[in-house]
Amino acid sequence: MYIWAAKCPETVRQFTPPAYRPHTCRLIVKHLPKALLLALLVGVPVMAQPLWIYYKNQYLGPNRVFLMSCCNMGTANNLRGVSYFNRIARDAMFDIHTKQGMTPDQAIAFLSGEAAAMGIVCPNVW
C-alpha cells in the first residue's frame, strides 16, 4: 500500500490516472496549505476602520485647534450648568452637518469622533 493513499483526497484518486497519482498527491499535500493561505490573504478584504475613528484622529491631529475651541465651549457650558453634549445642541449640530451635505451616518460618526477626542483631551467636560 502506498503512503500517499492515506494523505491523498478521494477525488484525486478517483480522477487521476494511476501512474500520476503519487506525484499529483505529493504536489497537493505539499502546496495546498500555501495555496489556501495565499487565497485567504488575497481574497479577504482588509477591514476598514470605523469612520468615527477617522474623525477622532482628525480632531487629535490636524484639527486640534478646533478641538480645543470645542473644549472651551464645553467648559463654558458646564460653568453655566449646561452639558455640552445635551440633546438639543447635538440635534442642532447634526442638522447643520446634514445640511452641509453629510449623510446621517457621516454626521453621527463626526459627532462621535468629536466626543471621543474630547474625552481624551478634556475629560472634565460633560
* DSSP structural state of residue 18: T
d(CA 29, CA 3): 12
Q: Please name which of 60, 114, 58, 50 lies closest in space to residue 85, comparing C-alpha atoms.
A: 114
User: In this predicted model, what pLDDT tens digit does every residue of 61-99 receive, in sequence order?
Assistant: 888 898 899 899 889 988 988 888 888 888 898 999 899
Residue 9 cell numbers, joined: 483526497
pTM, two decimals, is: 0.57
* DSSP structural state of residue 50: P
